[in-house]
Structure 1
Amino acid sequence: MSAYAADAAETRYVEGPEGERFAYRRFGRAGGRPLVMHMRFRGTLDHWDPAFLEPLAAEREVIVFDNRGINLSTGDAPASIEDMVEGSLAFIHALGLTDIDVLGWSMGGMVAQGVALAAPDIVRHLVVAGSSAGGVPDLPPPSARTRQIMAKPVNAAEDFLHLFFPETKEATAAGLASLERLEHRLKDSQAVVGPQAVRGQLGAIGSFKGYWHRQEELTLPVLVANGAHDVMIHAYATYAMSQKLPHAKVILYSDAGHGFLFQHPDDFAHEINRFLSA
């Protein structure tokens, strides 16, 4: 048995406006403002590290979900970031949420920005982890090796280690520990994003024009964080966003990469909790 609350959380379902059904989990300290979390490219609600969710849930209610057409959720798989934003808002409204904080990791960080821009009346704080505003000038692109691994039909453990963690002894050990924690859910669920949805996500990322020219509209408090050695979305994007966001705090982990939030789960969760409580 896992000691993590996230691993024991029940999978629930809510009907969306188009007859779709959203799968989600809702757990943690109820009664306050919930934190709605948006997942990365090719990720599902089973791909959140429970060691990261645990300290978040100790201080607030946490909601993880599969967007339309992803894993356990039904409906048409999104083909653009805007589709994902619309799907997220449909889910949020289906739960009747009117006062939330939002977090997004990687592709989910782009979606979370779109949600905050589209619904400023209900989003109070925004956390953007390992992501970008999209359209950032002079942002270094991923390497050919990284692009090749991202495009694989199935990623093995060594692929995730390359994409998410630097090739140091400490980071590799942290990455392996995170993958082991994820297995508590994944060994039974075998959760994956299907081939059609993956193609849609790749197309969405490739066609996304970005929110770079709308950063000034994000007047709410924003926490932007990354690992300094991110091979998927260069950490320059985090710095660049700090130059345009009106009320931002930036955190960079010098020994980490794209998976910094799973490499330093307690520390980053503490930073999020303090940020959301301000």
Structure 2
Amino acid sequence: MTTYISDQTETRFVDGFAYRRFGKTGGVPLVLCMRLRGTMDHWDPDLLDRLAAQREVIVFDNRGTNASTGTPPDTIEGLADGAIAFIRALGLTQVDVLGWSMGGIVAQGVALRAPELVRRLIVAGSSAGGVPNLPPPPAKVNETLAHPVNHDEDFLYLFFPETERARQAGLASLRRLDHRLGESKAAVQPETFRAQLTAIGTFAGFWDRQPELTLPVLVANGAHDVMIDAYATYAMSQRLPNAKIVLYSDAGHAFLFQHPEDFAHEVNHFLTV
């Protein structure tokens, strides 16, 4: 079994936020914002270690999520403000931010609400929100999300295409998560999940504010994302002033876990050029 640095890193706390820091220090840290119903233990350690080989990586639980205290925000703006408060609590004055899924929207909120904090932005498997003509997800997505607990088959449907190769990559990623999750039993509380759903359901979107994101932005997704159609990634390329777009033709929502080596290479290159 591979031993991952991110799996061995201890949990710390600051102002009620649970977090971990690991990797190569000395540069601009990379702060990661997590998906709907996810915790910092739900990041694939293979991806984390590949990112951490070239920079310091910081993962955290937002307010009221898993090990963090406080009231869970029920707006995207509140989630962004939570992330900003966490970054400032660490005493950081400049960071790069990577957000996946709901976290990608939150990451945009961080860059819009505190532009002085964010040097570069990475939006993975996400959307600007309010994208015109964005195809809706299949009905099965909402049915699957409504399950009290999501198991392997749910995650495989939501995150990976229905091919044997993608399924095997998905199962491998899920097994990499077992080390942390087996020890921590980390989970998003029901009230936090409800707050997150409210935040998504009431969010008007950052579509009209995309031109304000003048910093370098990397937007990436899998072409077969059933949760947030990959059209959102293309559409953002038409609005962002300084963006690079990456699409994986054989992947879905969790393309970053299906192709951790390649995506980490894209991220590390983007953050250093």
TM-score (norm 1): 0.97
How far apart are the structure 2 equivalents of 1:152 and 1:135?
26
Structure 1 partner of 2:30: 35
Report matched runs for 1:101-120 at 5 Å. Answer: 101-120=96-115
The secondary structure found in structure 1 opposite 2:70 is: coil
Name the structure 2 match of 1:204: 199
Which residue pairs with 2:78 in the alignment?
Answer: 83
Q: What is the CA-CA distance between 1:55 and the residue it aligns to?
A: 0.9
Query: Per-residue deviation at 1:120?
Result: 1.1
Q: Deviations over 1:183-203 (max 9, x none)?
A: 010011111001000111111
RMSD of aligned alpha carbons: 0.7
Task: Tell me the residue number matched to 1:131.
Answer: 126
Q: Find the aligned partners of 2:109 and 2:79 in 1 and give their Cα distance.
A: 9
Partner of residue 44, structure 2: 49
| Structure 1 CA distance for aligned equivalents of residues 116 and 166 of structure 2 | 39
| 2:169 is equivalent to residue 174 of structure 1 | yes
Write out aligned runs for 1:1-278 (5 A): 2-15=2-15, 21-278=16-273
Equivalent position amino acid for 1:178 in 2: S
174-183 or 148-157, larger mean C-alpha shift? 148-157
**CA drift at 1:2:** 4.5
Query: Which whole-Å CA distance do the structure 2 matches of 1:38 and 1:276 have between them?
Result: 17
Q: Tell me the alpha carbon deviations over residues 4-31 of structure 1, each in whole angstroms, 9 at most, x when there is no partner.
A: 110011100001xxxxx00000000001
How far, CA to CA, are the matches of 1:112 and 1:3 in structure 2?
A: 29
1:135 alignment partner, SS class: coil
The one-letter code matched in structure 2 to 1:8 is Q
Spell out, residue by residue over 1:84-120, the C-alpha distance to the aligned partner (whole angstroms, 9 max, x if none). 0110011011001101100000000000000001111
Paired with 1:58 and 1:37, the residues of 2 have a C-alpha distance of 15
The residue number in structure 2 matching 1:18 is none
Of 116-125 and 42-51, the range deviating more from structure 2 = 116-125
1:195-248 deviation digits (Å, cap 9, x = unpaired): 000111111111110100000000000000000000000000000000000000
Aligned length: 273
Unaligned runs of 5+ in 2: none
1:255 partner SS:
coil
CA contact (8 A) 1:2 1:184 kept: no
SS at match of 1:68: coil
- Aligned-pair distance for 1:152? 1.5
3-state SS, counterpart of residue 191 of structure 1: coil
Distance 1:3 1:193 in 2: 26
Distance 1:233 1:208 in 2: 15
Q: Which runs of 5+ in 1 are unaligned?
A: 16-20
- Letter aligned with residue 168 of structure 2: A
Structure 2 CA distance, aligned partners of 1:88 and 1:259?
Answer: 22
Partner Cα distance (2:35, 2:256) in 1: 12
Structure 1 residue 151: Cα displacement = 1.7
Inter-partner Cα distance in structure 2 for 1:150 and 1:216? 32
How far apart, in 2, do the equivalents of 1:119 and 1:272 lie? 22
CA contact (8 A) 1:130 1:225 kept: yes
Percent of counterpart pairs with the same letter?
A: 68
